[in-house]
Structure 1
Amino acid sequence: MAEEGEVHYASVVFKTKQAKPKGRTEEETVYDEVKVRNETTEKNLDSNGNLVMIVDNVGAGLLANKETEKRSHLYQWSACCFGTVCVILLLGIIGVCVYLTFIHESESQLKSNQTALLSENSNLTKLNNKLTSDNKNLTSNHNDLTVQMNNLTQAYDVLENKITNLTAENKNLSKQNQELNTQKQELNTQNQELEAERKNLTEQVQNTEAKQVEFNVSRAQWSIDAYCPKKDNARTCNQCEKGWLLITSSCYAVNDYQPDKRRSWEGAREDCRGKGSDLVVVGDNPEKTSVNGEIWTTSGFWIGLKAENGKWKWVDGSVLADNSWMTQEPQDGHCVILVKDKGWKSVSCDGKQQWICEKAALSV
């Protein structure tokens, strides 16, 4: 036994980490030596570089008491769990006994009810047999009455059908008579209307003939004045009317209007048709060069080329033969304009542009 006031120390030396042998996956702690000292607690390295820790004997005693207390708590917890399991098993056994008692009583009650139901069923069967017999008798009497009623009904139906047919025939005759009268009136009305229309048509024909004669005379006079202008009481005829340019065998009208008077492609074509012509159709390179040389503004001029069904088509129905003249792909809703010194360009047909008309020259 150590004297009171004496403190014993144990030093534990931890060796540095060595190379692990095969199969070992965790670090190991190697206790090298334990020494008893009467010195204060220290933590030093020995000559080999191992860590030396000084552990107090009093602390080791405290650790042992804690371990004992921990085991005591573990035993108490185990006993508590075992007691709980026993209570649960006891309650389960009691529940099963109660359930079996309830089942036995239910079976007794069901047997008693079954006996009463069998007795009641026998009584109901007898009553049903009696009612069935009475029903057969009533059914037989009812069938006899039904046969008699059917015979009377058939006779009544025959008479009613005859009356109905006669009534319907009478109504049809009356209706036909009314329809004939109505048709007669309608025919009289139509005859009067046709007679009035015939008179109107006759007057319209006469007026139209008079206007046509007047128009032809006016058109002939206009053509004479346009192609053969009168100068010094003499007329000199030209292949193109006044204001039109003669290029080879066609006459061209370059409509270089101001922006407020420019038109869409359809509007420009309508103007050309009103002048007895159409938008220009370019047939070859000489004509293309000649037409391009007659315009002097840099604004676009509509020509008779339009995109239809993925192709460039002229107003005369022909397809553009030389694709080098129009390199842009045809797009529905687009038409072609001629721009001075810049070739042809695809733009929206709704845009406002100037235009060029073309018609055949007269043979003089």
Structure 2
Amino acid sequence: MSEGGANMAGTNTAGTNTAGTNTAGTNTAGTNTAGTSVAGANVLLGVRDLKKHFPVKKGFLRRVVGHVRAVDGVSFDLYEQETLGLVGESGCGKTTVAKMIVRAIDPTDGQMLFAGESGTVDVAGLRGEELLKARRSIQMIFQDPYASLNPRHRIRDIIGEPLLVNRMASGTQLEERVAALMEQVGLRPEYAIRYPHAFSGGQRQRIGIARALSLSPRLIVCDEPVSALDMSIQAQILNLLKDLQDAYGLTYLVISHDLGVVQHISDRVAVMYLGKLVEVAPTERLFSRPRHPYTEALLSASPRPHPRYRGQMKIIAGEVPDASQQIEGCPFRTRCPYAQAICAEQEPELAPTGSEPDQLAACHFASELTLTGAATAGERA
């Protein structure tokens, strides 16, 4: 059975995209902490000082003796119909941010201001029916297509369940919607009676995408959407996501540790380290002219498929600070080759760098350092 299946072209009969015009009008989320929109669009999601602290319990009575600051004051804007890539090493808090945005877990503090159909709402404070309504517009594509699908359900039940739960379709209408969704993602409608074990990894991820599309969302959070797939299949899934975005005006938050994936699909990139954002910039500029030493190190570690590339990886020495302890100064200073005395005394703010207001970096010397980007790192004949 072919990976692609049916052609995804055709008319979308799965429901009209509800993105439309931003009813929130101008940005009501406050000061923009993530740069200027490349397309000049309105803010769809404004994240403000988002935090998630997990309690550390010890002893027979399981008393709380501290907290792990998994996410510690993250702020960014996500614009309509753009793709924002969120990158960083394992354990930096990327997936925790994603889970809070879809309210799979509750934030400790902060705001997530979403431009809904009836105005801007704080997703972090929603409960009951209001939360269910907001979740229709915010969906998620999970990392592992083998674990995210119920092996006991047929594909028609997996894709159709959100429609049933939200009372948006039933009977013949439900069957038609499921068939249309499968065609959109490149699967044959007659496969709807099969179980997940009958599909390859790429096909399973297409099923997950169809499920995310079922409620016609405006924002889709993609948590490592292609990391479990072969390279050739990764390209197919990424192209499918871009085609769907162009067709239905979707907005993506793509979380990945693969910088090649992020460079291919993202309009802007946010770099995360130890629960905080350290740099936010348009994709092309971040890859060519990074402004934070941690970003430079990440780019140098990304492999380049070129026979004449002789890159020198920048090794990040030192230990990662303990996230359960209060960190003084810059959290990256213990591993940064450019650190100076001020880095231990004062934590840098995420702020514009010089003449580039849409490139922000949390570094005291962001405007002074000349860092090496992926386009020129160590390249020799």
Question: Given the two structures, how large is their TM-score scaled by the length of structure 2?
Answer: 0.17
Question: Given the two structures, how large is their TM-score scaled by the length of structure 1?
Answer: 0.18
The structure whose residues are more often helix, as a share, is 1
Larger radius of gyration: 1
Greater relative contact order (CA < 8 Å, ≥ 6 in sequence): 2
